[in-house]
Structure 1
Amino acid sequence: MKINRIQQIRKLLLEEHTLSIKDLCRRFEVSKNTIRRDISELEQQGLIRKVYGGIVLNEEALDSSAPEPFDSRAAKNENAKKIVARLAASEVLEDDVIYIDSGTTTMHMIPFLAGKGRVTVITSSLNVINMALDYPTLDVLTTSGALYVPSKAFVGSSVIRCLRDFNISKIFLASTGISIEHGATNASPLECEIKRYLTGLPSKKYLLVDHSKIDVASLMSYASLASMDCLVLDKLPPERYQTYCTTNNVRLLTPETSGSSRTGNL
């Protein structure tokens, strides 16, 4: 499928930085015209530059798309993020194997997991790893990868290879911003590839965002909101989001809806 092929081209670019049209045609067994259409779409996204006979990764786009420093983001809306993290942690049961995404909201889940018995936490986030040191009932497994300093997390294709070894029951994802039109977005192409892989797993998926991230679209989309099982916020979103969740069978978990069993409102 076209969307899968473009995602694979993007992944190859992040790994190899330079690709020829001839090689892409061979790898995907498609015509040059098909590959050229894919290239045009990637060019519109600003991720590549055309060169004679192929494409190269646009390093300037990667640099300009890097998120603001982690500590600066972590200080914003900290109380709201902790509310979201507490609600998300309430979904975790003893013996669960969970993935906690890198992010300034998801990391706050760790203290709320205390007292749940043995829980296995898989993560690529340095902050999650460090916070978990104080909680001996948490079994922490870390991914491999290259350290991406702006997010204090490991990235790269080796992260995805590592994740293939685990049977994850619940995935807790972070996002720079969400919207109905663009779904869950992120500022880092390096992190987006990992998030896309996680979104495609059969595990139960939770998206954690505070209210300031509603109707915000960052550089790249990694999933539609409809692909999530549960959207966790610190307060009720606008009415159109509530309608969207109900229509698409996405549970909406907020302080107002916590404890409800209705579809779309938990």
Structure 2
Amino acid sequence: MKEDRISELENYILEKERASIEELCSVFNVSKNTMRRDINQLELKGKIKKVYGGIILTDKKTTEPFESREVKNKSAKLIIADLASTLIEDGDIVYIDSGTTTMHMIPYLSERKNVTIITNNLHVILNSLPYQNLNIISTGGTLFRRTNSFVDAEAVNSLKKYNISKAFLATTGVSIAKGITNSSSLEYDIKRYIVEHCDKKILLADNTKLEKVSLITYYDLKDIQVFISEQRPEQEYVDFFASNNISLLTPQ
């Protein structure tokens, strides 16, 4: 019951983004002492931050809103999405990550046959509606509006049913030293599960994300199989990819 309550508390904060202790005690029908213990557990996970009289969602401050990220470097994102789509074959079962680059893959898949796309991204789902050839499976979960992605334990649990051949991954920062990083700790669990359980990991990142380190590392750069960008990266990265048997896919 305690685990269920903490999970429900996490979902509640994801939706509300902030709440007072009194409000939470009323909603979950527990004492202040019990609520404070639950809050301490969520704080240890990095999901929330305690403030005077209540709590706030940590990622509200660290994650740039989806709408402002989506318009940045859009031409580069379209080039990358087009390249990424060439790696999807008829009958594939793929995961398309939540991101402002990955979401643009969908229109380039209009000629593929019987492709199954598993995703936690709202825009991937909506963009797929016109294409009858695409089978869409949503992870479910709680919608985190700053990334327009579905997160929480239920989203991760739903993935355990599927055999995913290729994962198209998004990132907010790429570094040889720090790996593949993301600004949202709320998406960590689902990203981590995907990279540990899919057959082929494909990273999509425009050149502005190189040498940037975001809040949390979710995978080592050396362990992906394909890196896609809109232009050839600096020689340091070209050499790194070659030494780790990572395919580099760019227009040039």
**Which TM-score band (shorter chain)?**
0.7 to 0.9
Of structures 1 and 2, the one with the larger relative CO (CA 8 A, separation 6+) is 2
Tell me how far apart the structure 2 counterparts of residues 90 and 212 of structure 1 sit (CA, whole Å): 23
Partner of 2:140: 144
1:102 counterpart letter in structure 2: S
1:101-140 alignment, distance < 5 Å: 101-140=97-136
Partner of 1:219: 215
| TM-score, structure 1 as length reference | 0.75
Which of these residues, 220, 224, 231, is aligned with residue 235 of structure 1?
A: 231
* 1:138–1:64 distance in 2 versus 1, CA, 3 Å: same
Q: Is the 8 A contact 1:177 1:218 kept in 2?
A: yes
Partner of 1:36: none
1:236-255 alignment, distance < 5 Å: 236-255=232-251
Q: Is the 8 A contact 1:178 1:216 kept in 2?
A: yes
1:35-63 alpha-carbon deviations (Å, 9 max, x no partner): xxxx9xx79xx77889xxxxxxx856433
Ranges in structure 1 where 5+ consecutive residues have no aligned partner: 1-10, 21-38, 51-57, 257-266
Q: Is the 8 A contact 2:175 2:211 kept in 1?
A: yes
Q: Is the 8 A contact 1:233 1:254 kept in 2?
A: yes
| TM-score, structure 2 as length reference | 0.79
The question of 1:63 aligning with 2:85 is answered: no
Ranges in structure 2 where 5+ consecutive residues have no aligned partner: 1-6, 12-37
Identity across aligned pairs (percent)?
41
The question of 1:76 aligning with 2:72 is answered: yes
1:113 counterpart letter in structure 2: L
1:147-195 alpha-carbon deviations (Å, 9 max, x no partner): 0000111001111100000011110010011111111111100112211
Secondary structure (helix, strand or coil) at the match of 1:171 reads strand
The question of 1:100 aligning with 2:87 is answered: no
Tell me how far apart the structure 1 counterparts of residues 75 and 148 of structure 2 sit (CA, whole Å): 21
Secondary structure (helix, strand or coil) at the match of 2:211 reads coil
Secondary structure (helix, strand or coil) at the match of 1:108 reads helix
CA RMSD of aligned residues (A): 2.4
Q: Is the 8 A contact 2:167 2:198 kept in 1?
A: no
